[in-house]
Structure 1
Amino acid sequence: MDEPVTVAWPGDPVLEGPGGVRVIGVPGQPDRETARLRIRAALATALAAHCGIDPDRIGLHSPEGAAPWATAALDGGERRIALAISHDGDISVAVFRADGSAVGIDVSQVVPVPDWEPVARDYLGPAVTAQLAGLPAAVRDAAFAQAWSEHEARLKCLGLQLDEWRAERAPALQACRCFPLALQAGYVGYLALAADGA
């Protein structure tokens, strides 16, 4: 398994991860709207520092039903930058990839999911459902959160919406390379890169 990808929290340096990505996080979110505003501000600041420009020259775009992206107004012209954002519990994470290649990210809080089996069957597919069913109950919540987060990161990387499991999508989803995120206890997360961008 790959080493966990470092998340840059406020005050940390933003390090380059696999495939040239940069991952940032914001903890202590009191509600969804505050989380959305804070991670977008942190993302704009990190992008501006990476590009060597002022934050007001960064545009963040997240149209309904499409993968989000950023634009950097550079002296030589505008550059499109791929990004992804995720929130759960009281943390938010975001990733950007300056070369524009697709990227996905997801964070999940580890919580009991009493109906894990039908949810896994409907969204994660038969193989993952069977793996989860073979685990002791004491570790199943964390394993479910990991499987869910990895699946969501893959979907975001491919620009797909969460939908019921379809076997014909499995090859494309599995082609994404996934890396775990280094997160605080009680959370799991994954970064996904397109097959050609690992």
Structure 2
Amino acid sequence: MMAGASLPAAVPVQWRRLDGGVAAPAAPDGLGFDAPATFRRLVANFEGGGELVVIGIQDQADRDLARRAIREAIAAELLLLSGLSPQRIIVHTLRGKVPWAELGFPDGPRRTWLAISHDGALSVAAISLHGPVGIDVTQIADPAAFPDWEPVARDYLGPDTAAALAALPPDERPAAFARAWSEREARLKYLGRELVEWSADGDHALDACRCLPLTLPEGYAGVLALPPA
């Protein structure tokens, strides 16, 4: 970890093409994670958060195809970063289970933590070397098609967030709701938990995460959840 590393205002997403292409060059000589910091394809190297990459796929609204595309993008990223052969990289993305990957280095397997999210035509994934990570993307609803936000916010986001949303002008509420929803989902994924309704006791552990917004195309909100400082 780089000394003095700090948290950015927002985390950029490295977009990958649906044909498996990448926007950035491969790590030199297949070094990847073990290369000098200036050569790494890391989006972030946060204090207390370790090394991680955030990638995404655009323009794929079919959920099954999106799952396949982001899984292939993760595998390609790990291939470039690790310098391993494809046979030594196993990506586990079973539905209902926390995703993860195993890198088969000669000196022994190495676990890589993953978090994945899909909504609308976007898919995003976080790849972490040093521990759990959470990520979520949420499409911002059209204000005219957003009549039932209040009971959903009260049940899943809690009374304080529901009250804050109610105080906003109607045209600002969908974006704020999407940000709050993504933050909750990212925190839950960081802890390896499924979506559950808000409760004062059950949500206490979620407050320990650090959350940063993702830089996304217009019409979407997203959040990355990191370990506590």
| Superposed pair shares fold, TM > 0.5 | yes
Please state how far the C-alpha of 1:64 moved relative to its aligned partner. Answer: 4.4
Q: State how far apart, in whole Å, the 2-side matches of 1:30 and 1:164 are.
A: 27
Q: State how far apart, in whole Å, the 2-side matches of 1:44 and 1:187 are.
A: 25
Deviation string for 1:95-134 (max 9, x for gaps)? 01012x1100000010132211000000010111011011
Corresponding residue for 2:32? none
Picking from 78, 98, 101, the partner of 1:70 is 101
Corresponding residue for 1:186? 219
- Please identify the structure whose Cα radius of gyration is greater: 2
Pairwise mapping of residues 139-158 of structure 1 onto structure 2 (< 5 A)?
A: 139-158=172-191
The answer to whether the 8 A contact 2:114-2:128 is kept is yes
Q: Counterpart of 2:117 in 1: which secondary structure?
A: strand
Summarize the Cα distance change of 1:133–1:108 in structure 2 as closer, same or farther, 3 Å threshold: same
- AA partner of residue 111 (structure 1): A
The answer to whether the 8 A contact 1:83-1:97 is kept is yes
Corresponding residue for 2:138? 108
Deviation string for 1:22-79 (max 9, x for gaps)? 0000111040111011000000010121111123321111344331111111111111
Pairwise mapping of residues 1-198 of structure 1 onto structure 2 (< 5 A)?
A: 2-10=8-16, 11-13=22-24, 14-17=41-44, 18=46, 19=49, 20-99=51-130, 101-112=131-142, 113-195=146-228, 198=229
Q: Counterpart of 1:105 in 2: which secondary structure?
A: strand
The answer to whether the 8 A contact 1:104-1:156 is kept is yes
Deviation string for 1:5-29 (max 9, x for gaps)? 0111123234331322100001110
Summarize the Cα distance change of 1:67–1:172 in structure 2 as closer, same or farther, 3 Å threshold: same
Which stretches in structure 1 are left out of the alignment for 5+ residues?
A: none
Q: Counterpart of 2:172 in 1: which secondary structure?
A: helix
Which stretches in structure 2 are left out of the alignment for 5+ residues?
A: 1-6, 17-21, 25-40
Q: State how far apart, in whole Å, the 2-side matches of 1:28 and 1:96 are.
A: 21
- AA partner of residue 4 (structure 1): A
- AA partner of residue 184 (structure 1): P
Please state how far the C-alpha of 1:154 moved relative to its aligned partner. Answer: 0.2
Q: State how far apart, in whole Å, the 1-side matches of 2:115 and 2:190 are.
A: 8
The answer to whether the 8 A contact 2:90-2:102 is kept is yes
The TM-score normalised by the length of structure 2 is 0.81
Q: Counterpart of 2:165 in 1: which secondary structure?
A: helix
Question: Please, what is the CA RMSD of the aligned residues?
Answer: 1.5
Percent identity at matched positions?
A: 51
The TM-score normalised by the length of structure 1 is 0.93
Q: State how far apart, in whole Å, the 2-side matches of 1:43 and 1:173 are.
A: 26
